[in-house]
Amino acid sequence: MKLSGNRFVIIGRAGMDFYPDPPGTKTEEATQFFACLGGSSANIGVAIRKLGGQVDLVTCVSDDAIGRFALNQLDHYGIGRAHVRSVGGEARNSLAVVETRIEDHQSVIYRNGAADFEMNDADVTAVDYAAYDALITTGTVFAAEPSRNATFLAFDLAKAAGLPLILDIDYRPYSWASAEEAAQVYSRAGAMCDVIIGNDVEFGFMAGDYDRGLDKARELVAKGASLAVYKMGEKGAITITPQGEVTTGIFRTKALKPTGAGDSFLGGFVAGLADGLALRDAVLQGSAAAAMVVSRVGCAPAMPTRAELDAFLHANADRKDAHAYSTP
């Protein structure tokens, strides 16, 4: 699958990430923190921007200092925010307190009364979808109304404009009223999308059986999706298309933290598709971006530039653990 260009509209949250500083510090022992842009959709946007793509975000932020921090950070990274609306009342921006450590790692997420769930039909109907080459979203947008219905409306509008729909499953149980509700909504969303990306646990959840995740990914493609990327952590990924499957490994790195890999993978992968890379190479570019981000502090600020990513890929061109091969 190739994209017609590198202009992306992304639906989903922008928030704040707090990292205990210096790296390695436990949250409960921290006396100072490093703040940066957070939120999976915003992070994906940064990844794409740093690789030369154009990005506009559609979401809501709280009308307070934290929301304005998120807006300033979007400006800093060059992400369009004409469709980012500030909301008052009791809504609050999402906040993540994330440790830069592997051993006993703690990530604490605050999502009660999240401002991004206030995104409504008017927010998505204001978008000119014909101005973009693809729509990207993450599964967290479906966890509450009115964001859920608005995103499905955006799907309909984007498809009418001829845009492919790209979904990062990004299942966060704490955001949902029940697993049953989540499974039903994800099934509806997955059936509408052209590209579905997730890990083995997330596809297993969608299947209703954690041992049948790969079957679910294959089923989505058999029923109409252009491709599904089934990620397996250190075991690499299986990318499924109607033409066959491509299995890829990972780029081993000295990780500082386990977070940020999914957002960076998606950004690197879709940027590769937009640049016309072969599917195998686009997946490996996403894997390389993920390896780089987990070895750096933060998520948005850790996203590699084009020069950094190209240098990493060149330096690791002969790594056997990143070997890819095709199967019929």
| CATH number, domain with residue 70 | 3.40.1190.20
Averaged pLDDT of the chain: 95
Is the peptide bond between 20 and the residue preceding it cis, with omega within 30 degrees of 0?
no
- Order of strands across the sheet that contains 195-199: 80-87, 54-62, 7-11, 134-138, 165-168, 195-199, 227-231, 237-241, 244-248, 324-327
Distance CA 41, CA 48 (A): 11
Alpha helices in the chain (DSSP H): 40-50, 65-77, 121-125, 147-160, 179-192, 200-207, 213-222, 261-274, 279-293, 306-315
Confidence at residue 322, expressed as pLDDT on a 0 to 100 scale: 57
The answer to the question of residue 107 being in a domain is no
The answer to the question of residue 303 being in a domain is yes
Confidence at residue 324, expressed as pLDDT on a 0 to 100 scale: 46
Confidence at residue 53, expressed as pLDDT on a 0 to 100 scale: 98
pLDDT one-digit tens code per residue, 83-135: 999 999 999 999 999 999 999 999 999 998 999 999 999 999 999 999 999 99
Decide if pLDDT at 320 tops 50: no
Q: Which domain holds residue 59?
A: 7-12+39-82+116-327
Total number of domains in the chain: 1
The SS3 assignment for 132 reads: coil
The answer to the question of residue 104 being in a domain is no
Fill in the amino acid letter for 87.
Answer: V
The answer to the question of residue 105 being in a domain is no
The answer to the question of residue 101 being in a domain is no
The answer to the question of residue 110 being in a domain is no
The SS3 assignment for 325 reads: strand
The answer to the question of residue 19 being in a domain is no
The answer to the question of residue 318 being in a domain is yes
Confidence at residue 319, expressed as pLDDT on a 0 to 100 scale: 63
For the chain, what percent of residues have pLDDT higher than 70? 97
pLDDT one-digit tens code per residue, 200-226: 999 999 999 999 999 999 999 999 999
Fill in the amino acid letter for 82.
Answer: A
Q: pTM (2 decimals)?
A: 0.96
